Amino acid sequence: MSNLNLFICSLLEVLECYIISDDSFIIPLLSVLLAAFWIMIPAYIPNPIAALCGGGAPIDFDKNYSDGRRILGDGKTFRGLIFGVLAGVIVGGMQIYLVTTYGWSSLPQQTVTSVIILSLGALLGDMGKSFIKRRLGKNRGDAWPIADQYDLVIGALVLMLIFNASWLFANVTLPVLIAILILTPVLHRVVNIIGFKLKIKKEPW
């Protein structure tokens, strides 16, 4: 079993213990997973859209870092960044509309600010990972387990912590955070396999 699979299994055990320890299953597993997914939708959308709509001028302007390697690489472009963030914001706007229109008060309440931060943070996390990969001598498309799955989570939540900490602490509780860490690699793998089959991505990871 890979280290990532062991990590996910450990998180599942922690989440299960937390829920079972709560009186009468006050926080059911499905509710926690749904809340985690709902929160992260604006962060999940940008990366595949950036891959689909990318191309054009790279964000690092084809420049090399002091180590002689590219700062980010050709995979990070202004067009991908713009379309990725825009897609995340649009989907987040739809979430706000649905909650407001149909009164889905049991779901975490997205705001315009939270949607923008999650969408932008996801791609900034991806760019941060690419920067570190280049420094480690890894090429574009090289697999980097765990970092490949959680870069968007780190970017989105750290940016939220900086600019809207009150929303973060009100919505991302410990069980929700654990659920996010469980869901993200699973969804990441599924989306990448689909992208590979559709020839949008060169690698299925």
Place of tokens 């799955």: 149
The label of the residue with tokens 């059911």 reads 28
Average pLDDT for 46-53? 92
Average pLDDT over residues 176-180: 94
Please give the Cα distance from 133 to 179 (Å, whole number). Answer: 27
Quick check: 151 and 124 in contact, CB under 8 A? no
Amino acid at 87: A
List b or e across 73-108, with b for residues whose CB sees 16 or more CB atoms inside 10 angstroms: bebbbeebbebbbebbbebbeebeeebeeeeeeebb
Interval 131-164: pLDDT, tens:
999 999 988 878 888 899 999 999 999 999 999 9
Question: pLDDT by residue (tens digit) across 11-24?
Answer: 656 555 655 554 44
Examine the pLDDT at 30 and tell me if it is beyond 90.
no
The reported pLDDT for the residue numbered 154 is 97
